[in-house]
C-alpha cells in the first residue's frame, strides 16, 4: 500500500515538529488569581475572627450573620 504514495509525501507526513509544546498563561492571569484567592481567604478568616458589638455584647461575625437570630 505504501507504493501508492511518493517517498517524499510519506516523509513529510511522518516528520514531527521540532521542540516541545509549552502551555503557559500570561503573568497577569497568575497575579489576578493570587489576589482573588487571597481576598477569599481574608473574607473567610474575617467571618471566624472578627467580632461585632451588639446590645448583648461582642458576637462573632459568622454568628451575627448566619446565626439563628438572623433568620427569625
Tens of pLDDT, residue by residue over 27-40, are 898 899 999 999 99
The pLDDT value recorded for residue 69 is 60
The pLDDT value recorded for residue 72 is 46
Domain definitions of the chain by residue range:
26-72
Residues 9-22: pLDDT tens digits? Answer: 777 766 666 667 77
Which H helix or E strand runs over 43?
Answer: helix 27-49
Which of the pair, 24 or 71, is modelled with greater confidence?
A: 24
Cα 20–Cα 11–Cα 2 angle in degrees, nearest 5: 135
Residues 34-58: pLDDT tens digits? Answer: 999 999 999 999 989 999 998 989 9
Cell for 16? Answer: 514531527
pTM of the model: 0.54
Rg of the chain over all Cα atoms, to the nearest angstrom: 30
Determine the Cα–Cα distance for residues 32 and 36; give it in Å rounded to an integer: 6
Cell for 60? Answer: 462573632
Amino acid at each position: 500500500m505504501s507504493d501508492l504514495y511518493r517517498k517524499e509525501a510519506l516523509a513529510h507526513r511522518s516528520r514531527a515538529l521540532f521542540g516541545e509544546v509549552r502551555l503557559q498563561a500570561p503573568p497577569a492571569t497568575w497575579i489576578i488569581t493570587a489576589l482573588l484567592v487571597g481576598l477569599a481567604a481574608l473574607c473567610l478568616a474575617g467571618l471566624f475572627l472578627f467580632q461585632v458589638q451588639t446590645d448583648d455584647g461582642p458576637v462573632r461575625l459568622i454568628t451575627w450573620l448566619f446565626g439563628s437570630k438572623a433568620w427569625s
